[in-house]
Structure 1
Amino acid sequence: MSNPGGAPIHKDQLKAKYIGTGDADMSKFEWVTNMHRDTFASHIGHYDHLSYYAVATNESVGRTKKEFLEKMLRPCGRPNVGEKEEGYDKLING
């Protein structure tokens, strides 16, 4: 891979730029949470998708957007008891 200037991009730079790319140490909960957040962000960013969901749920577009934004905070609930604690701490503390 390379950027527009022609210089190659290292995978660590990609991981820093795109948080949800994941790695071998990423837990299933973190991966699913990133996928859900990306999906909600895509629906919010594409007005046609947002208006489709608003019509389907018989709500206004603004209310649907607000609900999607609120779901992005914790899209998958709390992690299971068996999850790695350091992964959970990383997820909560940023």
Structure 2
Amino acid sequence: MSTPGGAPIHKDQLKAKYIGTGDADMTKYEWVTNMHRDTMASHVGHYDQMSYYAVAQNESLGRVKKEFLEKMLEPCGKPPVGAKEEAYEKILNN
């Protein structure tokens, strides 16, 4: 990949520019969360899509926009608990 001037772009530069591109260590949860956030941001940023959803849900544009922005906080629910956290919680509960 290169810039319009022809200079090559390094992968690290692309990752710095586009946060959600991911890497080999990215979990499925992180990837899905990024996809959902990108989708919600796209819906909020395009007026026509927002008005479509507002009409379909019989809600005001402001309310639909607020709901979409709130969904961006935790679009896929709480993050999964890893093995370390599970063991720590068992120790605390006993």
- Interval of TM-score (by shorter of Structure 1 and Structure 2): 0.7 to 0.9
Instruction: Give the TM-score normalised by structure 2.
Output: 0.83
Q: Equivalent residue of 1:20, what SS?
A: helix
1:60 is matched with 60
Relative contact order, higher structure (CA 8 A, sep 6+): 1
Shift of 1:2: 1.2
1:26 is matched with 26
How many residue pairs match? The answer is: 85
C-alpha distance in 2, partners of 1:80/1:62? Answer: 32
1:92 is matched with none
Q: Is the 8 A contact 1:36 1:75 kept in 2?
A: yes
State the percentage of identical aligned residues: 84
Residue type of the partner of 1:70? E
Residue type of the partner of 2:70? E
C-alpha distance in 1, partners of 2:4/2:84? Answer: 38
The higher radius of gyration belongs to 2
1:42 is matched with 42
Gaps of 5+ in 2: 86-94
Gaps of 5+ in 1: 86-94
Distance 1:14 1:84, change over 3 A: farther
Shift of 1:63: 1.0
Q: Is the 8 A contact 1:3 1:9 kept in 2?
A: yes
1:51 is matched with 51
1:91 is matched with none
Distance 1:44 1:59, change over 3 A: same
C-alpha distance in 2, partners of 1:84/1:27? Answer: 16
